[in-house]
A and B are shown apart, each in its own frame.
Chain A
Amino acid sequence: MTASTPEGKKIFETSRAYMPQSTDSRSTQMVLGAANKLGLIRDTSIQPFAPKEETFEVPLPPDLRNAVIEVNLRYQLRPGNLCSIHKVIRNVSLDQMK
């Protein structure tokens, strides 16, 4: 998720990883790949019947009244190999009441 100025300057960026996480059960180091993984230690994956909800608070610079929010949900097939699922862009303004 990113927040940018209307001119495109990025002012905020954060991300979440939704995935089962494993070590090789020999150390605390997380590993990737079927031949390396052995035992889950944490699971942040998206589960059936269990929506994933997040709240991101983005403080803006004092003089900024407008921002562009971009939320991307992507599937990472392997590091660097991404497949886009959702891309939502919202223009937000402190000068417009809902």
Chain B
Amino acid sequence: MLICPSSTYRKCTLAISLLFVLIFSGATVRGETPTQASTLDELIAMFDSSSCKDCHEKTYGQWEKSHHARPLIGLDDEMLLSAYLKRIAKLGKPPEQAIKRDFPCFKCHFPQIKYGTDAVAGEIAKAVLRDDKALIRKLNIGCLVCHNEKAVVHGRPEKNVVYGNKDEADHEGPPIKGSPLLKSSLLCGQCHGLGPVLDNPDIPVQCATLYGSYLHAYIPSGGAQTCQDCHMKGHNHYMPPDFNQKEELSARLRESLPMEVQTLAYTFHPDEKTFFPMVVVKTKITSKAGHRIPDG
């Protein structure tokens, strides 16, 4: 308990008042409590970016083929969260009663969930359990995730604004504001992460550590490329690799990881009486990537 001597009462009051001002002004800067969608349909509508397709058909088409268009669908059309929900069941919780806190994966695989209630998380759990891929495919890292929600880290993104590389006052549709983050690896690093995610003490996870590798291995070695330089050449929103496209993946990895092989066949003679044929194989794999491989 804070006790103020009478002589310093005024100063103390001032200090407390100032503290309140700072706290409340901080809340205004960092973002008000997000609107909470109470149904999954409502949340999907909040982040629906299908109207972008009308004018940005090529870009939208590229994105539609990318993993960002299906972050909850894994390799070979597998429902990513099925096994995970079974794991929750093993902990004694009916999976259909899952709440937001039960889905640490959503931090990156469906970051919009922060604008939804626990009931929305429950709807997603039920959709996963009935293998409703049509619905789960609507939960994606669409235009507004990167061009709004993740486009600003100093404060909160503005509602109904799309962030791009520069201001575009005459943009048809929502206004476009420039954000330097759009060209920065930090944009991607918000999800293609640093290491263990300990936000939820009940279910700590460690998914992607790629940005950590970029920061601590690539940059210190003198690397100067950004994620976008290699994965969004020409502003391509396909953002390879696609791990389902084996030939394409193979070609990309072949380019990123050149391998040299040298062989030497000879008769080894380690001592006076011993001779035997031997082959020495030397391999050297060089990486052109800006991060460890494998990672995500």
Chain A residues at the B interface, C-beta cutoff of 8 Å? 1, 3, 18-20, 22, 34-35, 37-40, 43, 45-62, 64-65, 67, 69, 71, 73, 75, 77-78, 81, 83-86, 88, 90, 92-94, 96, 98
Contact = CB atoms under 8 A, between A and B. Distances in A.
Contact of B261 (A38, A88, A93): A88
Given A75-B253, A84-B250, A35 B84 contact: yes
B278 A71 contact: no
B206 A59 contact: no
A20 B281 contact: no
A33 to B, nearest CB: 9
A56 B257 contact: no
Interface core residue of A48, A67, A92 (most chain B CB under 10 Å): A48
B191 to A, nearest CB: 12
Contacts, number: 160
Nearest to A73: B259
Interface string B241-276: 001001001100110010101011111100000001
Given A48-B287, A58-B280, A75 B261 contact: no
A87 B280 CA distance: 17
B291 interface: yes
Interface stretch (B35-43, B44-52, B143-151, B218-226): B218-226
B154 to A, nearest CB: 28
Interface of B: 75, 84, 87, 105, 195-196, 203-209, 213, 217-218, 221-223, 243, 246, 249-250, 253-254, 257, 259, 261, 263-268, 276-295
Contacts of A39: 195-196, 206
A4 to B, nearest CB: 11
A69 B206 contact: no
Given A45-B295, A48-B288, A49-B218, 17 more contacts: A18-B285, A22-B206, A35-B84, A35-B203, A35-B205, A38-B204, A45-B292, A49-B221, A49-B222, A49-B223, A51-B284, A52-B283, A53-B282, A56-B283, A67-B279, A92-B279, A94-B265
Given A46-B257, A54-B283, A35 B292 contact: no
B280 A56 contact: yes
A73 B257 contact: yes
B196 A57 contact: no
30 contacts: A20-B294, A22-B206, A34-B105, A35-B205, A39-B195, A39-B206, A45-B293, A46-B289, A48-B217, A48-B288, A49-B287, A51-B286, A52-B283, A53-B282, A53-B285, A55-B282, A58-B279, A58-B281, A60-B277, A67-B279, A69-B263, A73-B285, A75-B249, A75-B294, A78-B75, A85-B250, A85-B257, A90-B261, A92-B263, A94-B267
A50 B218 CA distance: 10
A67 B293 CA distance: 31
Interface core residue of B221, B246, B265 (most chain A CB under 10 Å): B265
A69 B283 contact: no
Contacts of B291: 48
B277 A50 contact: no
A12 to B, nearest CB: 8
